[in-house]
């Protein structure tokens, strides 16, 4: 149990680092107490503004890094099977494209926290069978 908790704390730290970087990019925007939802992430990812695109990519890759780190720690410490099998060569642009496709599905609830939507897209596209 301690090892699992440690893994979650580590993942939270990685996610926080990614979100802090995104926050620095938003320094000119008003501060919000909550994290972004699917609607906001979709707007960032569809924007033609390079700063918005950077926020999109940093957010998605930060979330993916956090989820895959927890996955790896659980595999190494508890012997659990991997949940995510991302092929070599998948980069930030492809992750953004997968995320946008997930957000465009009619059954995706864009009011959910963006991290939950990233998790769903990750499991759907790169879940280990």
Query: What CATH number has the domain bearing residue 77?
Result: 1.10.890.40
d(CA 119, CA 90): 16
Residue 79: what pLDDT? 94
The C-alpha atoms of residue 118 and residue 58 are separated, in whole angstroms, by 12
Domain interval for residue 65:
2-27+36-126
pLDDT of residue 5: 40
pLDDT recorded at residue 98: 97
Output the pLDDT for position 119: 96
Residue-by-residue DSSP string for 42-70: HHHHH-S-HHHHHHHHHHHHHHHHHHHHH
Q: State the number of CA atoms in the 13 A half-sphere of 102 facing the CB.
A: 26
Candidates 55, 11, 7; CA nearest to 35 is: 55
Whole-angstrom distance, CA of residue 107 vs CA of residue 44: 20
The number of domains in the chain is 1
pLDDT of residue 76: 94
Distance between CA atoms of 51 and 45, rounded to whole angstroms?
A: 10
State the pTM of this model: 0.73
Q: For position 22, what pLDDT does the model report?
A: 44
Bigger pLDDT: 31 vs 105 = 105
Tokens 């879940």: give the residue: 127
């Amino acid at each position: 149990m301690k090892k699992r908790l440690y893994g979650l704390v580590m993942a939270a730290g990685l996610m926080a680092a990614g979100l802090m970087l995104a926050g620095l990019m938003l320094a000119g925007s008003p501060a919000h107490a909550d994290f972004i939802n699917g609607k906001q992430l979709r707007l960032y990812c569809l924007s033609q503004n390079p700063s918005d695109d950077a926020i999109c990519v940093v957010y998605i890759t930060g979330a993916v890094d956090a989820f895959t780190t927890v996955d790896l720690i659980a595999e190494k410490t508890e012997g659990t099977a991997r949940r995510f099998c991302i092929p070599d060569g998948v980069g930030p642009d492809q992750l953004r494209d997968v995320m946008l496709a997930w957000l465009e599905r009619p059954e995706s609830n864009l009011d959910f926290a963006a991290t939950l939507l990233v998790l769903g897209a990750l499991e759907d596209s790169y879940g280990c069978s």
